[in-house]
Amino acid sequence: MHCKTGGANMRLAGILTGLLLAAAGWAAPAVPSAEMPFRRGEIAIDGKPGDPGWENAARIVLAAEPLNQRFGDYWATRPTTVLLAYDETFIYIAFLCKDDRIVTAGEKHDDALHAGDVAETFIDGTGDHRQFFEIQQNAAGLARDVNYLFTGFNNVPDEDGYLTDWNNIWDDICCDIRGLRFAGGKLADGSGWFTELAIPAPELLRRSGRRQFAPGMTLRANFVRLDCSGENRSAAVSWSPTVFGRPHRSPGRMGFLKLLPR
C-alpha cells in the first residue's frame, strides 16, 4: 500500500495556495526555536529508545499542521515526540511515533519512503537556504538522504518560506551523507515506532569550514511526520508548518536550534 502525498500538480497547487493566502492578508506563523543539550550518556543508534544519552535530550512534540490543510483530531491519538542532543561529532535526532497501524514503503536505501509512514528531518548547517539535507526514516530501519542545492542569485524565500526560483533548485537524491548513522524499528510494546540518527559534523558544517559542533552554534531544521490515514493518503504534522507536501521547498520555514553549553 502506498499513500498519496502529491503528484505533478503539487507544485502548482502550492503556488496557488500561497497566492490565495497572501491575497487574504494571511501571514504564516513565526518559525519556532529550541535549545539542544550536550548528551550526557551514550547513544547507540540501534533503533531502540532506551539509551542513556536520550535522558537529558530536548523534547519537541510535533503539533503544527500544514499551512493549507487540516486533519481534525487525527493526530490526537498518534503523538510524535522528537528528541535532540549533540556532541562535538554528531547531532542526534530521534522520532518517537505512537501508532496502532504502521505502513512502511521501500525495500532499500534511498527508496521513496514517503510513500508510507515516515519521519523526515530537514537540516541546514549554515541557514542561508542554499544547501540543506533531508533524511527520511521509517519503522523498517530504512533511510533516504537527499541533498538540496540552490544555485540562483535570489535565495530569499517568499512569505511561506518557499524558494520560488524553480530553475535553480537541484535535488541530489543519489546523495549519501558520509558517516551518517541511522536505525529504526517498531516499539516492543506494539504502541508505535522509533527512529534515530546521528548526523556527522564535517558533512553538516562543510560550507562553514568547521568540523565540530560547539556551544552557541545555531542550526536551522524542521521535523515532519507523514502517516497513512487509511484512505491511501498521508496526514502530516511538523515542528514548523509548511505548505502540504513542500517542506523540502521551504527552507525559510525551518526553526532555529541553538546548541547549549556542555
Q: What is the pLDDT of residues 133-159, one digit of tens each?
A: 999 999 999 999 999 999 998 888 888
Provide the pLDDT confidence category of residue 201 given band limits of 50, 70 and 90.
very high
Residues with Cβ within 8 Å of residue 91, at least 6 apart in sequence: 36, 84, 123, 198, 199, 201, 204, 213, 219
Q: Given this model, what pLDDT does residue 11 score?
A: 45
Give yes or no for a contact between 64 and 254, defined as CB atoms under 8 angstroms apart: no
More confident residue, 184 or 232: 184
Closest CA to 31 of 186, 206, 151, 157: 157
Mean pLDDT of the chain: 90
Q: Given this model, what pLDDT does residue 5 score?
A: 56
**DSSP bridge pairs for 186:** 193
Q: Strands 192-200 and 169-172, how do they pair?
A: unpaired
Residue 22 has pLDDT above 70, yes or no: no
Per-residue pLDDT reduced to its tens digit, 34-59: 999 999 999 999 999 999 999 999 99
Q: Given this model, what pLDDT does residue 8 score?
A: 42
Per-residue pLDDT reduced to its tens digit, 81-99: 999 999 999 999 999 999 9
Q: Given this model, what pLDDT does residue 9 score?
A: 45
Task: List, in sequence order, every beta strand (DSSP E) within the chain.
Answer: 33-36, 58-61, 80-86, 90-98, 118-124, 131-137, 143-150, 169-172, 181-186, 192-200, 218-228, 234-238, 255-259
Residue 231 has pLDDT above 80, yes or no: no
Q: Given this model, what pLDDT does residue 110 score?
A: 96
Residue 3 has pLDDT above 90, yes or no: no
Q: Given this model, what pLDDT does residue 7 score?
A: 45
Give yes or no for a contact between 201 and 90, defined as CB atoms under 8 angstroms apart: yes
